Structure 1
Amino acid sequence: MMVDWFHRRQSELVDAAAFAGIGFWQMLGRAGRHGPEEWDRYAKGWMKRGAEEFYRAPEKFPGTLVPGRQQVPSPVLCDREENNTVFLRVWPGRRGMNSPAMILLHSLFSASDVYHYRRRPKGTWSGELVFGGNLIRSAETIRQAVAETRMIARMARAAGAPQVGLWGMSLGGWIASLTLCQEPDLTCAWLVQPIPDVATAIWDSPGGWVIRRQMEARGLNRAQASRMLPLVCPTFGKPRITAEKILLVGGRHDRIARPEQLRSLAGDWGGAHYREVGQGHIGYQAMPMAWRWGTSLMPDLFERQG
């Protein structure tokens, strides 16, 4: 159909422009570098220890959640001091901190995730260090973000939240989907265009062209780069909540988080809800539609609180 053709071409243009900008930042090469041997040692070490240890969250956490803005130390420290603090903004519901809580996890370049805004090292762009030819830094970024999300979920429960859910977009959806496979007692998850397969995003999409060149220049091929996929891809994990409390939203023209992969993931996760919007990876339909679908599919989560 002509309308679908137009939406596809529009999505390709928007995604191409966005990923060209991302590629420019990646070409600066400020994420650092490593060779195949260093990556091999890192990957083998963590694969031996497993996902539980890789994403371990602290049993004790610093303080409790309070309304408004706050900051707490990250449970996973890195070599950039600016990135070792978690910045939060808390909006309480009708019952204050005793309201059910939804943790909102944003996409790349959006707010205060790892290496973003106040967490970015001086001399770098917000989000620049998240993905680049330095696979070790990227893996540590994902590890840090999941551990932080688990810590925040526990802090919310300790502050009085009877239920805690996750709502993530793109990078945030990826983090939420990995958290979902590690953290017990979550209530729901709305995963908007999460990255189901990192290898596809790097090697088979327009968004990975700079990373591919950087890795190849350092002697890393696809097989070597894929050694940690079981730890960083949600397709290898199993969520710790029931399928009816999971919503996956895909973009019909998305070549990063491909819709066929998300549909397959929904099936592998026991029949999680899957819905689709007519956009690429970059767009403004998915998040508002996730709210509409989430509230419709899970009305019991939004019953009037007494």
Structure 2
Amino acid sequence: MKLSVEKPTALPVPETPRTPVGQFGRFAASGVDLLMCASINLLQSRHRLHARSREEMEHYVAACEKLTAENFYAVPTGAEIAVAIGDQPGPTITWRSPISTNFPANNVARADLFPCSRGWSAPTVLMLHALMSASDIGYRRCAARLNELGWNACFVHLQYHYSRVPRGYWNGELAITADLIRNAEGLRQGVIEVRQLMAALRKRGCQEFGVLGTSYGGWIGALLAMVERDFCFVALMAPIVNVEHAIWESPAARFMRRELRRASIEPSLVARHYHLSSPMHNQSSCDADRVLFVAGEFDLISRPTDVEKIQQQWQGSELLRVRQGHFGYRMLRETIAWLKARAL
């Protein structure tokens, strides 16, 4: 199944009206973004780098420079999870992650399944949530709508979130900190686990997949699109695509920057990993005309200019703009409506 997409590749979007209502919407969205950024920075302040952090980072990027994205995100030989999925759809599957971390709770991958009446042969939408996602309620509602359209839905517990939160930490707290090696390995872990899940579902008869990725989940979704081809659509909502900005300019990373500078980890060292971790430095492996980028007009974290730039780089992809900041629920609703209108 392929989305029926109209040209031109970018949807014509009128400028945001400079009315009192429009200005209030921008002010309110920016206020929410900044408040959430303050919370993220507060949590990050619990995670300090140590005396050998720069040396470890140097060794890590030196080893990674030799790898391609396909190497970095490859599923290890023998790491199959088909045995974890029964013949009948069930509510949850768990399996041992192929990436071992220092946190046992994070080493057990989990996905919640929401099957439609067609069973395993139906296409499956992989829902990849945002950083520190507060609740899965919205995703469950989204899954119900997808089921009505004849799709299975799969809510993936990304690394250090939900069932994978180590005791003593907040949901998603460990996914993004000044420990850039853990960040990168977390992204790798997320992509590999989703690829494992896709392979297992293929063996059960599923041949078509879609992706709904939000923010951090959109980042993982973009990385997934760099190495997987079998997608009917890849909808990336406020995805983190400009890693350089996310680290060195984003208001959500102020404490991270301070720690990196204290450890003498400079931008040029970090940039040596962008060929693996930055969607903006790569191209989609699947057909770009199946990719939808969704930008929040008032977003301070995943700036609309960055989302527009990668949409132009991934030639043939689509762009949808939504009048919200980085945090909000309007974007998911409008994305589902956009996909449904184009024969999801």
TM superposition score category, shorter chain reference? over 0.9
Displacement, 1:225? 2.3
Partner of 2:67: 49
Partner of 1:129: 174
Displacement, 1:75? 2.0
Runs of 4+ in 1 over 4 A off after TM superposition: 30-34
Aligned partners of 1:195, 1:180: CA distance in 2, in Å? 14
Partner of 2:113: 90
Letter matched to residue 11 of structure 1: A
Letter matched to residue 72 of structure 1: W
State yes or no: 1:26 paired with 2:44: yes
Displacement, 1:240? 2.1
Aligned partners of 2:46, 2:230: CA distance in 1, in Å? 41
Q: 1:55 to 1:31 in 2, by over 3 A?
A: farther
Partner of 2:150: none
Letter matched to residue 34 of structure 2: A
CA contact (8 A) 1:251 1:278 kept: yes
CA contact (8 A) 2:69 2:226 kept: no
Partner of 1:10: 28
CA contact (8 A) 1:19 1:207 kept: yes
Deviations 1:106-138, CA, capped at 9 Å, x for gaps:
001126210113212222212111111111111
Aligned partners of 1:287, 1:184: CA distance in 2, in Å? 23
Aligned partners of 2:113, 2:299: CA distance in 1, in Å? 31
CA contact (8 A) 2:84 2:95 kept: no
Displacement, 1:49? 2.0
Deviations 1:234-281, CA, capped at 9 Å, x for gaps:
112221222221111000111221111111211211121101011111
Aligned partners of 2:307, 2:58: CA distance in 1, in Å? 29
Aligned partners of 1:100, 1:180: CA distance in 2, in Å? 17
* SS across alignment from 1:182: coil
The percentage of counterpart residues that share the same residue type is 31
* SS across alignment from 1:87: strand
Letter matched to residue 84 of structure 1: N
Of 170, 183, 188, which aligns to 1:138?
Answer: 183
Aligned partners of 2:111, 2:329: CA distance in 1, in Å? 24
Aligned partners of 1:33, 1:70: CA distance in 2, in Å? 40
Displacement, 1:84? 0.8
Q: 1:152 to 1:104 in 2, by over 3 A?
A: same
- Written as runs of structure 1 = structure 2, the 5 A alignment for 1:58-73 is 58=76, 60=78, 61-62=80-81, 63-65=83-85, 66-73=89-96
Q: 1:220 to 1:277 in 2, by over 3 A?
A: same
Once the two structures are overlaid, the 10-residue window that deviates more, 287-296 or 105-114, is 105-114
Aligned partners of 2:195, 2:255: CA distance in 1, in Å? 31
- Written as runs of structure 1 = structure 2, the 5 A alignment for 1:95-110 is 95-110=118-133
Of 103, 111, 114, which aligns to 2:159?
Answer: 114
Q: 1:69 to 1:32 in 2, by over 3 A?
A: farther
Of 71, 79, 92, which aligns to 2:102?
Answer: 79
Partner of 1:276: 321
Q: 1:50 to 1:241 in 2, by over 3 A?
A: closer
Higher-RCO chain (CA-CA 8 Å, sequence separation at least 6):
2
Aligned partners of 1:33, 1:145: CA distance in 2, in Å? 28
Aligned partners of 1:91, 1:294: CA distance in 2, in Å? 19
Partner of 1:166: 211
Letter matched to residue 59 of structure 2: R
CA contact (8 A) 1:105 1:167 kept: yes
Q: 1:34 to 1:250 in 2, by over 3 A?
A: farther
Aligned residues: 299
Deviations 1:120-158, CA, capped at 9 Å, x for gaps:
222221211111111111111111001111111111211
- Structure 1 unaligned blocks of 5 or more: none
Displacement, 1:34? 4.6
Of 242, 245, 260, which aligns to 1:200?
Answer: 245
* SS across alignment from 2:302: coil
- Structure 2 unaligned blocks of 5 or more: 1-17, 137-156
Letter matched to residue 100 of structure 1: P
Partner of 1:264: 309
Under a length normalisation based on structure 2, what TM-score does the superposition of the two structures give? 0.83
Aligned partners of 1:252, 1:220: CA distance in 2, in Å? 32
CA contact (8 A) 1:116 1:127 kept: yes
CA contact (8 A) 1:196 1:257 kept: yes
State yes or no: 1:293 paired with 2:338: yes
Aligned partners of 1:188, 1:64: CA distance in 2, in Å? 26
Q: 1:70 to 1:120 in 2, by over 3 A?
A: same
Displacement, 1:198? 1.1
Displacement, 1:222? 2.0
